[in-house]
């Protein structure tokens, strides 16, 4: 599967939306960010 710029932008915007929405929810703490795949990858 070839990764295109469009796919990359979709993934980044989806990830940013999940993290920003998760910050609003009280049950979504900093510890839960470790459960998000790719959140801490370098």
Q: Domain tally for the chain?
A: 1
What is the predicted pLDDT for the residue at 32?
Answer: 62
Give a yes or no: residue 42 inside a domain.
Answer: no
The model's pTM? 0.42
Residues in the chain, how many?
A: 42
How many Å apart are CA 29 and CA 33, to the nearest integer? 7
13-16 long-range Cβ contacts below 8 angstroms, 24+ apart? 15/39
Residue range(s) defining the domain that contains residue 14: 5-35
Give a yes or no: residue 18 inside a domain.
Answer: yes
What is the predicted pLDDT for the residue at 25?
Answer: 58
What is the predicted pLDDT for the residue at 30?
Answer: 60
How many Å apart are CA 15 and CA 37, to the nearest integer? 10
Helix (H) or strand (E) holding 24: helix 5-24
What is the predicted pLDDT for the residue at 27?
Answer: 56
What is the predicted pLDDT for the residue at 2?
Answer: 72
Q: Quick: pLDDT tens for 6-39.
A: 888 888 888 887 777 666 555 555 666 666 666 5
């Amino acid at each position: 599967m070839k990764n295109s710029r469009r796919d990359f932008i979709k993934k980044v915007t989806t990830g940013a939306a999940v993290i920003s929405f998760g910050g609003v929810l009280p049950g979504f703490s900093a510890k839960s960010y470790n459960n998000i795949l790719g959140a801490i990858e370098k």
